[in-house]
């Protein structure tokens, strides 16, 4: 058991911090989903062709993070098997109940977009090594069913993989030019629907906190917007880091236009996010309600390091300067890439710090506004630091597994 230090008067039921590290991790992973999907949609919907190198990878990353978005919540619940009750016996005035339907709808959108994106690949892999009589693939206006030279230029596919790709193709083997054009249109429509869905998915997380009128640290109309913008910041930052790592692992150079574009978008979203967070704090201070004295002590004491030093001074100011240089000046490729990667890493820390300050910080003061408690997460245990690290690594394990079956990059 960790030691709890209290200060001032507290009711006995206010000493424990009930929403622990798992509830910090939950909106953090969900935010990575929204940010990664929006980067993919910038290419598919808005025609930002400089993002083409990461568009496919961004969608896969969004899917993998989405799979594990609810896992921290399930670890937090005493009876995780009861989680499905919000779907079977819904209460439409409950924000958490609504999340089940939002999450399910968004998952369907992402899965459909992935299937249409990789359908030609599924068909091609299902027909490799099956013999000329099964090769009925048409590429443009050329019939490829009797092209043995095509078969000799590709690596043979094991029978179990061909069976897997046949199942994934769902029996649709038409990859003619007209069919591929229709697939592209459907992908564009799904991506367009997915953009507001992604915004609702993470804006809802901020709504959960912003709608709690009993807590002055959470109860603000700006909370959903701040959560959404910080989600986009973290998602773009994570893509920069993952893209740089993948290219380093493969020994390939980074696409300069792609890094430059992501850094510029990251800088723009960072400015809006930080400005709104400071405006929120300024409004609280200017209104000067009876809770402000407690919140001011919270910021200057309990959250001095995580909120003032880490979130704003270090992890917001330094990326703001570096990304500004990348966006507004012409730098050497190595310098531009280094500045972008350093900024992305710092912003990942910044967003996690923001989640910590909101979730944990809002539980460190008494409901009576007369005292403070403390929170030191345990390392082991169901909601400890070790389990959180393992859960956060699971989406990357999922990405690694999918990489064995799907081509993440256009040149593959």
Instruction: Characterize the bridge pairing of strands 142-143 and 138-139.
Output: antiparallel
In a domain, 30, yes or no: yes
DSSP alpha helix (H) spans, 128-176: 148-152, 159-168
In a domain, 32, yes or no: yes
Q: What is the pLDDT of residue 149?
A: 42
Q: Which residues make beta-bridge pairs with 8?
A: 371
Indicate if 266 and 360 belong to the same structural domain. yes
Q: What is the pLDDT of residue 411?
A: 58
Comparing CA positions, the residue from 351, 366, 242, 400 lying closest to residue 297 is 366
Tokens of 273: 């996010």
In a domain, 102, yes or no: yes
Indicate if 382 and 368 belong to the same structural domain. no
Indicate if 12 and 60 belong to the same structural domain. no
Indicate if 135 and 181 belong to the same structural domain. yes
In a domain, 124, yes or no: yes
Q: In whole angstroms, give the CA distance from residue 167 to residue 163.
A: 6
Indicate if 372 and 382 belong to the same structural domain. no
Indicate if 190 and 297 belong to the same structural domain. no
Instruction: Characterize the bridge pairing of strands 142-143 and 371-372.
Output: unpaired
Q: In whole angstroms, give the CA distance from residue 224 to residue 364.
A: 21
Q: Give how many domains the chain has, as a whole number.
A: 2
Indicate if 41 and 174 belong to the same structural domain. yes
Indicate if 5 and 100 belong to the same structural domain. no
Q: What is the pLDDT of residue 357?
A: 94
Q: In whole angstroms, give the CA distance from residue 356 to residue 27.
A: 10
Q: Residue 84, Cβ neighbours under 10 Å: how many?
A: 10
Q: In whole angstroms, give the CA distance from residue 102 to residue 253.
A: 39
Indicate if 76 and 198 belong to the same structural domain. yes
In a domain, 192, yes or no: yes
In a domain, 4, yes or no: yes
Indicate if 130 and 168 belong to the same structural domain. yes
Quote the domain boundaries for residue 175: 21-211+378-412
Indicate if 389 and 348 belong to the same structural domain. no
In a domain, 199, yes or no: yes
Burial bucket for residue 305 (CB in 10 Å: 0-12, 13-18, 19+): exposed
Q: What is the pLDDT of residue 369?
A: 81
Buried b (16+ CB within 10 A) or exposed e, 234-259: bbbbbbbebbbebbeeeeeebbeebb
Indicate if 385 and 344 belong to the same structural domain. no
In a domain, 196, yes or no: yes
The answer to whether residues 126 and 169 touch, using CB atoms and an 8 Å cutoff, is yes
| Average pLDDT per block of 10 residues along the chain, 412 residues long | 68 78 92 90 89 92 92 85 78 76 90 92 78 42 42 61 86 85 91 89 84 85 91 94 92 91 94 94 88 90 93 95 93 92 96 94 85 85 89 94 85 58
Buried b (16+ CB within 10 A) or exposed e, 329-357: eeeeeeebbebbbebbbbbbbbbbbbbbb
Q: What is the pLDDT of residue 92?
A: 73
Residue 143, φ and ψ in degrees, nearest 5 = -80, 120
Half-sphere exposure of residue 316: CA atoms within 13 angstroms, side-chain side: 23
């Amino acid at each position: 058991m960790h030691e709890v230090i209290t200060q001032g008067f507290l009711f006995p039921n206010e000493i424990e911090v009930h929403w622990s590290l798992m509830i910090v991790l939950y909106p953090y992973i969900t935010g990575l989903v929204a940010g990664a999907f929006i980067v993919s949609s910038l290419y598919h919907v808005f025609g930002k062709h400089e993002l083409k190198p990461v568009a496919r990878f961004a969608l896969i990353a969004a899917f993998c993070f989405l799979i594990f978005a609810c896992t921290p919540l399930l670890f937090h619940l005493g009876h995780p098997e009861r989680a499905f009750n919000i779907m079977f016996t819904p209460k439409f005035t409950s924000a958490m109940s609504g999340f089940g339907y939002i999450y399910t709808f968004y998952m369907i959108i992402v899965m459909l977009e992935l299937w249409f994106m990789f359908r030609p690949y599924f068909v091609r892999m299902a027909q490799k090594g099956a013999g000329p009589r099964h090769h009925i693939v048409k590429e443009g206006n050329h019939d490829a069913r009797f092209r043995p030279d095509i078969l000799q230029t590709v690596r043979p596919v094991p029978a179990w993989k061909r069976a897997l790709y046949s199942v994934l193709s769902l029996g649709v083997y038409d990859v003619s030019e007209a069919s591929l054009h229709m697939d592209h249109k459907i992908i564009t429509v799904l991506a367009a629907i997915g953009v507001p869905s992604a915004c609702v998915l993470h804006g809802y997380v901020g709504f959960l906190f912003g709608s709690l009128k009993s807590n002055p640290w959470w109860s603000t109309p700006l909370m959903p917007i701040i959560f959404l913008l910080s989600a986009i910041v973290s998602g773009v930052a994570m893509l920069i880091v993952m893209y740089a790592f993948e290219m380093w692992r493969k020994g390939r150079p980074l696409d300069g236009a792609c890094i430059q574009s992501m850094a510029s978008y990251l800088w723009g979203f960072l400015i809006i996010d930080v400005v709104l967070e400071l405006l929120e704090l300024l409004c609280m201070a200017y209104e000067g309600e009876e809770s402000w004295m407690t919140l001011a002590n919270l910021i200057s004491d309990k959250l001095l390091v995580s909120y003032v030093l880490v979130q704003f001074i270090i992890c917001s100011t330094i990326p703001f300067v570096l990304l500004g240089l990348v966006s507004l000046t012409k730098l050497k490729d190595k310098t531009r890439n280094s500045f972008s990667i350093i900024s992305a890493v710092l912003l990942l820390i910044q967003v996690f710090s923001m989640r910590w300050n909101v979730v944990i910080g809002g539980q460190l003061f008494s409901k009576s506004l007369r005292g403070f408690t403390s929170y030191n997460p345990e390392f082991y245990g169901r909601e400890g630091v070790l389990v959180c690290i393992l859960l956060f690594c699971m989406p990357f394990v999922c990405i690694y597994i999918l990489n064995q079956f799907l081509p993440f990059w256009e040149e593959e």
